[in-house]
Amino acid sequence: MHMFYVYILLSKKDSYIYTGLTNNVERRLKEHNSGQVKPTKAHTPFEVMYTEFFKTRHEARSREKFFKTGAGRKLRSKILSEHIPV
């Protein structure tokens, strides 16, 4: 049974935030950090700041889309503020 993950990455270089989905967070982080993902290539390196898991890809995709809305970005900012020391 596959699990799907929505993840939030934070660039160590310039604090760029990226939200995506995958079935393997470790592999996907390596792809981001090696420059294989076009939207994040200029912002490497990244660290995983947050993950959520889902039983279906559809559920994960819905959550990923939510994080890219206005309300989702607010929640994402709140989540990140709880994980980043000020």
Angstrom distance (rounded) from CA 55 to CA 17: 25
Task: Give the angle 67-46-41 at the CA atoms, nearest 5°.
Answer: 90
Confidence at 50, pLDDT banded by 50, 70, 90: very high
Residue 9: phi and psi, rounded to 5, are -105, 150
pLDDT of residue 30: 98
Tell me the domains of the chain and their CATH numbers: 4-83 (3.40.1440)
Find out whether 7 and 27 touch, Cβ atoms under 8 Å: no
pTM > 0.85: yes
Confidence at 71, pLDDT banded by 50, 70, 90: very high
pLDDT at 85 over 80: no
Confidence at 2, pLDDT banded by 50, 70, 90: confident
Q: What is the mean pLDDT of residues 10-33?
A: 97
* 56-84 as b/e: b if 16+ CB within 10 A: eeeebeebbeebeeeeeeeebeeeeeeee
